[in-house]
C-alpha cells in the first residue's frame, strides 16, 4: 500500500515512519506533509491507498482536510493524542484511529483492516463493471474496460481510448485528453477484447480506435495519423485488414 503521513510534528512523522518500516513492510510511505493544505496537495499528486491523518493541526485540522476533498479513493487512519477530540464521531463511523504514543500492535491491526477494505472496494468495483457488461441493453459506448496496473485498477470507457501500444508484457493506453495508463497485461488480450468496439490491430505493437483515425498516409506500407497527432505504422501483413476495417 502506498501511504501518506500528515502531521504537523516532524518527530511524530518520523516515529510513525519507523514503526511502519519495522512492523508493516507492506506499506510504502510515498510522501509526508505538515499541514492540511500540504496534505491535500500530496493526496492529489500521489493518489495514495492509505492516509495517516493527524486530527489536531494549526489552522485547518484533519476533518477540514477531508471536507475539502470530494472523492475518497483512499482509506484513512486517524492519528491523535487527544482521546476526546472527534473520537466519538470516528467511532460511530467505524473508522480506524490510533492514539499517540502509537502501539505497534494496534498499528498492525489498523493497517491490516485498511488493506482488506481496499481489496474489498476494488473487488466490488470489478463486480459492478461485470454486471454492467452483462446488461444487454446497456449502450456499447458506455462499456468500461478494467485496466490493472501495479498501483490501481482503472475503469475506462472504450470510447475514450485513442490507441494502445505494446511495451514488452505491458500495454500502454493513450486516452483522449493526453493521459496514459500502463496496464500490466500483454496487448494480445486487449486485441480480442476491443475488436468489437471498433479497434484495429494495424501493427504487432499497435492497436487503434477507428473513431480517432484522422487520415491514412500512404508512405511505404502506410501510416495512420491519429487525432492525438501520432503517426502509427501499418505493417505489410496488416494492410488489407486495416483497409477493410476503415472502408
pLDDT at 136: 55
The per-residue pLDDT for 203 is 94
- Mean local confidence (pLDDT), 52-69: 89
pLDDT band of residue 4 (cuts 50, 70, 90) is very high
Say whether pLDDT at 3 is over 70.
Answer: yes
Segment 190-200, tens digit of pLDDT? 888 898 889 99
Q: Set out the domains of the chain in order of their start, with CATH numbers.
A: 2-122 (3.40.50.2300), 140-245 (2.40.50.1020)
Confidence of residue 19 (pLDDT cuts 50, 70, 90): very high
pLDDT tier at 189 (50, 70, 90 boundaries)?
A: confident
| Per-residue pLDDT at 222 | 85
pLDDT of residue 134: 65
pLDDT at 152 (0 to 100): 73
Residue in 45, 48, 16, 53 with CA at minimum distance from that of residue 118: 48
Grid cell in block for residue 128 = 459492478
pLDDT at 55 over 90: no
pTM of the model: 0.58
Q: Contact 88/81 with Cβ under 8 angstroms?
A: no
* Rounded-to-integer distance, Cα 45 and Cα 153, Å: 17
Torsion of CA 91, 94, 98, 99, to 10 degrees: 10
What confidence score (pLDDT) does residue 201 get? 94
Alpha-carbon torsion (100, 103, 109, 111), positive or negative:
positive
Averaged over 115-128, what is the pLDDT? 81
Amino acid at each position: 500500500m502506498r501511504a501518506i503521513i500528515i502531521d504537523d510534528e516532524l518527530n511524530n512523522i518520523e516515529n510513525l515512519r519507523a514503526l511502519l518500516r519495522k512492523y508493516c513492510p507492506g506499506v510504502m510511505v510515498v510522501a509526508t506533509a505538515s499541514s492540511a493544505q500540504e496534505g491535500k496537495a500530496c493526496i492529489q499528486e500521489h493518489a495514495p491507498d492509505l492516509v495517516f491523518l493527524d486530527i489536531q493541526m494549526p489552522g485547518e485540522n484533519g476533518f477540514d482536510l477531508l471536507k475539502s476533498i470530494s472523492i475518497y479513493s483512499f482509506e484513512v487512519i486517524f492519528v491523535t493524542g487527544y482521546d476526546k477530540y472527534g473520537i466519538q464521531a470516528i467511532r460511530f463511523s467505524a473508522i480506524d484511529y490510533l492514539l499517540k504514543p502509537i502501539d505497534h500492535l494496534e498499528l498492525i491491526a489498523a493497517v491490516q483492516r485498511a488493506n482488506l477494505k481496499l481489496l474489498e472496494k476494488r473487488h466490488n468495483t470489478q463486480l459492478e463493471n461485470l454486471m454492467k457488461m452483462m446488461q444487454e441493453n446497456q449502450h456499447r459506448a458506455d462499456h468500461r474496460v478494467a485496466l490493472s496496473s501495479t498501483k490501481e485498477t482503472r475503469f475506462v470507457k472504450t470510447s475514450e481510448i485513442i490507441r494502445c501500444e505494446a511495451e514488452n508484457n505491458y500495454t500502454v493506453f493513450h486516452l483522449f485528453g493526453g493521459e496514459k495508463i500502463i496496464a500490466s497485461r500483454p496487448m494480445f488480450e486487449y486485441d480480442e477484447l476491443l475488436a468489437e468496439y471498433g479497434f484495429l490491430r494495424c501493427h504487432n505493437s499497435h492497436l487503434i480506435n477507428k473513431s480517432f483515425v484522422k487520415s491514412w498516409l500512404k508512405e511505404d506500407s502506410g501510416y495512420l495519423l491519429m487525432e492525438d497527432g501520432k503517426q502509427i505504422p501499418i505493417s505489410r501483413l496488416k494492410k488489407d485488414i486495416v483497409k477493410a476495417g476503415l472502408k
